[in-house]
Structure 1
Amino acid sequence: MPPRRKLNEFERGRAVAWFQDGVPKPRREVARRLHVSISVIVRLIQRFTATGRVQERRRPGRLKKTTPREDRLIERLALQTRTASSSIIRRQLRVPTNTNISQQTIRNRLHGFNLRSRRPAVRPRLTPAHRAARRAFCRRHVRWTRQQWSQVLVSDESRFTLNHNDDRLRVWRRQGERYIDVTVQEKVAFGGGSVMVWGAFSLHHRTPLFHVQGNLTGLRYRDEILRPLAVPTLQQMGPQAVYQDDNARPHRARVVNDFLQQSGVNRMEWPACSPDLNPIENLWMSWIAR
């Protein structure tokens, strides 16, 4: 069970104001707005009714080693550099405040601000030219019908590895901040691996899965994949069939372009660095998850 979120003093004041409004809001509605359980709001209203205060009662135990100002500084340091570890934040805090606290205290303060250490989401590194090409592609096809998309044979290669590099970089983020820029790790395509396969499918057709052994060249792509697998499937789909492949160097070799042109294959223009636009990526991910 995830730890219960605590309301800060400002949020407690808002909750009481909503409850005491001219048209009081139900406690369940106040809890929904503040993303806490209804029991938190019930206890807050009971405490305010009995004491007239929204501050939490003083609890017995050891006093905090940090002041509210130092707590805000810890939060600001984590938000400025999302990849900073608790040990780095501890050293940065010591310079302006001369405060000597443990790394666990740093983590506790960040947890109090609803910041948790999480692995960053990963996305392709896109230049402005890549982004412009992706927008142009989407605008060209935004009005395509289901019938038009059913005529597209999408293809891709994927490498499956038994062992991979476990990136241990972590970032501080709040709920809902998984995909903002400062919490996302960018990376380029990886190298190495164990097994590479090629496949293609459309709405009603699919090719056999082909095991790519060794390096894939333009000649091998033409002779081992396109001629025996892709082109026969496109012919079954009819004259309106469109073939999609990415901009990998073997796919754009001159021998490949000449062969597809001679075979009368309609080829879809594909923006660079756009794996997420290809529906076959969902198929690869479903296999990986097995």
Structure 2
Amino acid sequence: MVGRQKLSLLDRGRAIGWFQDGVGVREIARRLLVSPSVITRLRQRFQATGLVQDRPRPGRRKKTTAREDRFITRQAQTVRSSTANRIRRQLRAATNTNVSTQTVRNRLHAAQYHARRPSKRPKLTLVHKRARRVWSRLHILWTRQQWAVVLFTDESRYSLEHNDGRVRVWRRQGEGYNDDCIQQVTAHGGGSIMVWGGISAHHRTPLYLIQGRLNAQRYRDEILRRFAVPTLQQIGAHSVYMDDNATPHRARLVNAFLQQAGVVRMDWPSCSPDLNPIENFWDALERRVHDNHPPPQNLQQLWGFLQAEWQAAPQANLRRLVESMRHRCTECLANRGGSTHY
């Protein structure tokens, strides 16, 4: 026996057309593979209203009013880290309305708010934001040609193991400590290495492995003299050197060396990794390392993999990162010196 079935609007129109042509209810039901009662109700609705669509249904009455919905949204806007349970308690204290945490989530979802992992950025004080605004205002009108001769440099650390805190496993109760339900970790991430590199629109330095603690003298002798200055000479007479405000970078002996070498150095606002395009390149390298199968098993393999990926990256990708500088300045000014999405 054919069971009851919801008809699509197309099938409903076909059924009414057949009915108007004189086809019987049972024959229409047989053609559409539904019970005759479905066709009978459809015919009665069409004769009464002239429509084949379902009548609007009010559904279950909402537990909250429009005013209470706005209260829930305001609490999430005021304290972005508020939990649904906390907002539920605040609603009950303010309006004496008791709802479930799922209801709170439903109201926030309806207002286009969804729980997401917060982005991590350096803490910016008013002084930092003011300096970022000033810097962005000075450089927002730079052309592509001006940005193309800037050598953006930085250090980055890479670990053998990586955990972004979002690993999940499917398990039943009592299986929490099964071998296939645990994540095995090694102390201190299994070891890490620190590297230095620099990129420009048309050039890149070799990737350099920093062994031990980097001080000002090592920064001058091992990095600036060996890699940075030769690359700046390749870029041309109008090249500009960019590094951040780390203590070894701003030592007097480093400043004296760069001045003696005739290197033009870019002033850089503190706590501004989002303005440095090489940071995006570091992130891409990290994803490549941890998406590789099998992943590096020791620090030597990790260093070899980083070197290979550094050299293999298309120069066009680096050029696009450099050409994003004007957008970074624009967004920084729009955010009044606050963090950008880069």
Give the structure with the higher percent helix: 2
Q: 1:74–1:266: structure 2 CA closer, same or farther, 3 Å change rule? A: closer
Partner SS, residue 116 of structure 1: coil
Shift of 1:65: 3.5
AA in 2 matched with 1:275: P
Shift in Å at residue 272 of structure 1?
1.5
Does 2:71 match 1:73?
yes
- Aligned partner (choices 158, 161, 166) of residue 160 of structure 1: 158
Provide the TM-score with structure 1 as the length reference.
Answer: 0.64
Partner AA of 1:210 in structure 2: Y
The residue aligned with 2:184 is none
Residue 67 of structure 1 and its aligned partner are, at CA, apart by 4.0
1:217 maps to 2:250: no
Alignment-derived partner of residue 58 in structure 2: 58
Higher mean C-alpha deviation, range 261-270 or range 136-145: 136-145
Q: What's the offset of the Cα at 1:200?
A: 0.8
Structure of higher CA gyration radius: 2
User: 1:150-185 CA deviation, whole Å, 9 max, x = no partner?
Assistant: 322221112234335639xxxxxxxxxxxxxxxxxx
**TM-superposition CA deviations, 1:203-240 (whole Å, max 9, x none):** 33221101122322111111211111112222333332
Q: Which aligned pairs between 1:152-191 and structure 2 lie closer than 5 A?
A: 152-161=150-159, 162-164=161-163, 166=165
Superposed CA deviations along residues 74-97 of structure 1, whole A, max 9, x for unmatched, are 233223322110111122122233
Q: Summarize the alignment of residues 80-119 of structure 1 with structure 2, pairs less than 5 Å apart.
A: 80-119=78-117
Q: Size of the alignment, in residue pairs?
A: 215
Q: Which residue of 1 aligns with 2:244?
A: 246
- Unaligned stretches of 5+ in structure 1? 1-48, 51-55, 168-191
Partner amino acid, structure 1, of 2:214: L
Please tell me the root mean square deviation across aligned C-alpha atoms, in Å: 3.1
Q: Which secondary structure state, in structure 1, belongs to the residue aligned with residue 258 of structure 2?
A: helix
Mapping for residues 139-288 of structure 1, pairs under 5 Å = 139-161=137-159, 162-164=161-163, 166=165, 194-288=192-286
CA 1:150 to 1:69, structure 2 compared with 1: closer, same or farther past 3 Å? closer
Q: Normalised by the size of structure 2, how large is the TM-score?
A: 0.55
Q: CA deviation at 1:128?
A: 2.9
Amino acid at match of 2:277: P
Distance in 2, matches of 1:109 and 1:148, equals: 49
Q: Superposition pairs for residues 10-89 of structure 1, below 5 Å? A: 57-59=57-59, 63-89=61-87
Q: Within 1, Cα distance between the matches of 2:158 and 2:127?
A: 30
Q: Secondary structure at the match of 2:115?
A: strand
Give the direction of change, closer, same or farther, for the CA distance of 1:143–1:105 in structure 2 (3 Å limit). closer
Provide closer, same or farther for how the CA distance between residues 276 and 91 of structure 1 changes in structure 2, counting only shifts above 3 A.
same
SS at match of 2:103: helix
Structure 2 residue identity aligned to 1:204: H
Instruction: Give the letter for the 2:122 counterpart.
Output: P
Look up the SS of the partner of 1:115 in the other structure: coil
C-alpha distance in structure 1 between counterparts of 2:140 and 2:99, whole Å: 55
Structure 1 residues 102 and 148: alpha-carbon distance in aligned structure 2, compared to 1, 3 A threshold: closer
Instruction: Provide the C-alpha distance between the structure 1 equivalents of 2:277 and 2:139, rounded to a whole number of angstroms.
Output: 14
Q: Give ranges in structure 2 of 5+ residues lacking alignment.
A: 1-48, 51-55, 167-188, 289-342
**Matched residue of 1:269: which SS?**
coil
Greater strand share, structure number: 1
Give the counterpart letter for 2:58 in structure 1. Answer: R
